[in-house]
């Protein structure tokens, strides 16, 4: 059974698959590629245009800057993006640097950053992010700490680009989480209440439909979706990132010691993965041609 995320791993996996058709490849290397680029990873969510009685799933407006940081202010103005903006590296390669993110209160300060990068409109979401783990047909959601809302008053007074504070570890369930004081410190007057609509998990039928469509469109079995609920709404959600086989920065170490290390904070992950792998192997051998 193969786990492959780096370029050489994907090449090796493809060669091994062709020579050993009995080996189960969890996800096609070619399908993984689209999640390693933040310009393409959200395309399927946009094309899906998911909206039903349970809610609406959107993608924040964004643009790509490939070179010449001095041109960023002009490009942002021309694109009509609204401040504040989240700046993310374009390529996701598993390193800590590829997961560095910044919040820009004015477009001129963006010239300090190093392209290639993605600029994404920041959506106020009450400091709560939902990490939706998809393992085959199973779905698990945990609540994570995130950035607080940015008020109009704050936006008018603050300038500069600020690196995201470290996002705190996920709680075992949505009811167990407390807000990270380092996040709350970005906005002195901010008080976030964890009871109410912002803390309520997204409706399961909406998540099931989103997961089903993304599995089909992406051609992947293992990934997670970072989702937020727009502040002031009950049923408007934004997907801000999709990660393949979530893990820590030094993924080659984690995969050697524990190939499922990235899912360690997902509730009941041992049972979910056991069922997933058994189902995968049973399906493979069931469909194997008779000797």
Q: Binding site annotation covers 126?
A: yes
Q: Binding site annotation covers 229?
A: no
For residue 144, the cross-strand partners are 129
* Mean pLDDT in residue range 261-280: 79
Q: Binding site annotation covers 214?
A: no
Strands of the chain (E only): list them: 51-52, 55-58, 62-65, 85-89, 102-104, 117-121, 128-135, 138-145, 161-163, 222-229, 236-244
Lowest mean pLDDT among 60-69, 85-94, 241-250: 241-250
Q: How many CB atoms lie within 10 A of CB 247?
A: 22
The predicted structure's pLDDT at residue 277: 86
- pLDDT tens digits for range 36-89: 999 899 999 999 999 999 999 999 999 999 988 999 999 999 999 999 999 999
- pLDDT tens digits for range 182-215: 344 444 333 334 444 557 899 999 999 999 999 9
Q: Binding site annotation covers 88?
A: yes
Q: Binding site annotation covers 99?
A: yes
Q: Binding site annotation covers 38?
A: yes
Would the pTM of this model clear 0.95, i.e. be above it? no
Q: Binding site annotation covers 223?
A: no
Q: Binding site annotation covers 264?
A: no
267 three-class SS = coil
Angle at 243 between CA 183 and CA 167, to 5 degrees: 15
Q: Binding site annotation covers 146?
A: yes
Q: Binding site annotation covers 2?
A: no
Q: Binding site annotation covers 20?
A: no
Domains of the chain: 7-286 (3.30.470.20)
């Amino acid at each position: 059974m193969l786990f492959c995320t780096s370029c050489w791993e994907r090449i090796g996996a493809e060669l091994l698959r062709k020579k050993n058709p009995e080996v189960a490849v969890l996800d096609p290397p070619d399908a993984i590629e689209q999640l390693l680029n933040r310009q393409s990873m959200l395309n399927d969510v946009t094309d899906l245009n998911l909206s039903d009685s349970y809610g609406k799933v959107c993608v924040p407006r964004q643009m790509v800057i490939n070179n010449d940081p001095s041109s960023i202010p002009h490009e942002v103005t021309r694109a009509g993006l609204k401040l504040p903006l989240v700046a993310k590296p374009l390529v996701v390669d598993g390193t800590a640097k590829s997961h560095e993110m910044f919040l820009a209160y004015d477009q001129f300060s963006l010239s300090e950053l190093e392209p290639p990068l993605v600029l994404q409109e920041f959506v106020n979401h009450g400091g709560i992010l939902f990490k939706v783990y998809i393992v085959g047909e199973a779905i698990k959601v945990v609540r994570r700490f995130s950035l607080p809302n940015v008020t109009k008053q704050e936006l008018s007074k603050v300038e500069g680009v600020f690196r995201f504070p470290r996002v705190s570890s996920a709680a075992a369930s949505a009811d167990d989480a407390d807000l990270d004081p380092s996040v709350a410190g970005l906005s002195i007057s901010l008080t976030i209440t964890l009871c109410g609509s912002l803390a309520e998990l997204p409706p399961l039928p909406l998540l099931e439909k989103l997961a089903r469509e993304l599995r089909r469109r992406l051609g992947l079995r293992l990934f997670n979706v970072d989702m937020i609920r727009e502040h002031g709404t009950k049923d408007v959600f934004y997907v801000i990132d999709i990660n393949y086989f979530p893990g820590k920065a030094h993924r080659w170490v984690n995969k050697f010691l524990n190939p499922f290390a990235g899912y360690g904070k997902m509730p009941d992950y041992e049972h979910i993965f056991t069922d997933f792998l058994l189902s995968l192997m049973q399906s493979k051998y069931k469909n194997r041609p008779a000797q």
